[in-house]
């Protein structure tokens, strides 16, 4: 059934991909950090000015906290995100020659970088798939589709890695995010419009499923 669901999702969302805008590894890392608890569209409104003012790790490390906060103030958690960006720039300069590392353990050592962020950067920038990127959409749909009953993100990732063929790890998060935004929304999913209705164990509860 998993393969059938994947096939339907691929046909339904053939252009599913990361919706954050970036051109360099550093820009990708910054954008993914900023996307925490924030819509990608909002991040994309802020990043052009951020990228123009801080084009490399050295500039980011030398930034004034207040200036970063001014650029990010339309985003949630903007003060902590500004602090993490500056500290991240400092670590990149001092430990990695100003370059974004391509190893999971090194990415996880950076301020503001958790597993989801690190996996996303590895996948989108370095074409390296070390796991499944789990955000709120992916977690919600994994439970609704019966692929995981866990609440913990790391446990959900382990369940998805066991359920999904490894060749699809890189695309499953994009497919589930697209479906979660379009049909399987939080609160009242549009089950009557869902192409997965006949395969989804939650569909029988209809649009009352939360």
The label of the residue with tokens 């052009």 reads: 48
Q: Which sign, positive or negative, has the C-alpha torsion 125, 53, 64, 82? A: negative
Which residue in 21, 56, 130, 135 is the catalytic one?
Answer: 135
Nearest-angstrom CA–CA distance, 89 and 67: 15
Tell me the HSE value of 111 on the side-chain side, using a 13 A CA sphere.
17
Annotated active-site residue 135? The verdict is: yes
Task: Identify the H or E element spanning 165.
Answer: none
Residue 159 near residue 198 (C-beta atoms within 8 A): no
| CA 148 – CA 140 distance, rounded (Å) | 9
- The answer to whether 116 is a known catalytic residue is yes
Please give the structure tokens belonging to residue 95: 């430990």
How many angstroms separate the CA atoms of 90 and 95, rounded?
8
Choosing from 116, 159, 193, 209, the catalytic residue is: 116
Quote the longest CA-to-CA distance of the chain: 55
Distance CA(78)–CA(178), nearest Å, equals: 26
Size of the chain in residues: 210
Q: Give me the active site residues, please.
A: 116, 135
């Amino acid at each position: 059934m998993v393969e059938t669901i994947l096939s339907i999702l691929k046909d339904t969302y053939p252009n599913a991909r990361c919706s954050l805008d970036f051109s360099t590894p550093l820009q990708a890392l910054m954008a993914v950090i900023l996307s925490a608890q924030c819509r990608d569209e909002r991040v994309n409104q802020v990043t052009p000015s951020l990228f123009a003012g801080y084009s490399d790790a050295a500039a980011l490390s030398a930034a004034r906290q207040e200036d970063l906060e001014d650029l990010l103030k339309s985003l949630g958690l903007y003060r902590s995100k500004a602090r993490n960006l500056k500290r991240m720039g400092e670590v990149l300069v001092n430990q990695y020659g100003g370059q974004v590392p391509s190893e999971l353990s090194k990415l996880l050592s950076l301020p503001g970088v958790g597993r989801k962020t690190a996996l996303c950067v590895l996948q989108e920038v370095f074409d390296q798939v070390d796991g499944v990127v789990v955000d709120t959409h992916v977690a919600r749909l994994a439970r609704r589709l019966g692929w995981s009953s866990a609440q913990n993100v790391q446990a959900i990732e382990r369940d998805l890695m066991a359920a999904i063929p490894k060749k699809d790890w890189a695309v499953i998060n994009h497919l589930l995010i697209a479906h979660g935004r379009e049909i399987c929304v939080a609160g009242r999913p549009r089950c009557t419009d869902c192409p997965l209705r006949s395969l989804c164990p939650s569909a029988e509860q209809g649009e009352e499923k939360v």
